[in-house]
């Protein structure tokens, strides 16, 4: 009887752990998807910044002193 009870208790604990693992795996997959989306946005932002950097400022214009 004691062995049966112990076995049942252990089975219950194993099932509980399996459920928790499944939940954690699901959350991990969600986090991975979110991370992938963030990487895509970061890459897009980086490309935008690079394109802004590559634009050259207009050449300086000559300034005539006034009122001297």
Over the stretch 1-45, which tens digit does the pLDDT of each residue have? 567 899 999 999 999 999 999 999 999 999 999 999 999 999 999
Q: Please provide residue 23's backbone torsions phi and psi, each rounded to the nearest 5 degrees.
A: -65, -45
Q: Which residues contact 49 (CB under 8 A, 6 or more apart)?
A: none
How far, in Å, CA of 30 to CA of 53, rounded? 35
Residue 66 counted as domain residue: no
Residue 67 counted as domain residue: no
Total domains in the chain come to 1
Residue 40 counted as domain residue: yes
According to DSSP, residue 56 is labeled P
Domain with 8, as residue range(s), is 1-52
Global pTM value: 0.59
């Amino acid at each position: 009887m004691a062995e049966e009870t112990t076995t049942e208790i252990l089975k219950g604990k194993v099932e509980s752990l399996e459920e928790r693992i499944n939940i954690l795996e699901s959350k991990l997959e969600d986090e991975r998807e979110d991370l992938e989306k963030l990487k895509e946005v970061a890459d897009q932002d980086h490309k935008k910044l690079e394109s802004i950097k590559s634009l050259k400022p207009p050449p300086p214009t000559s300034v005539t002193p006034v009122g001297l």
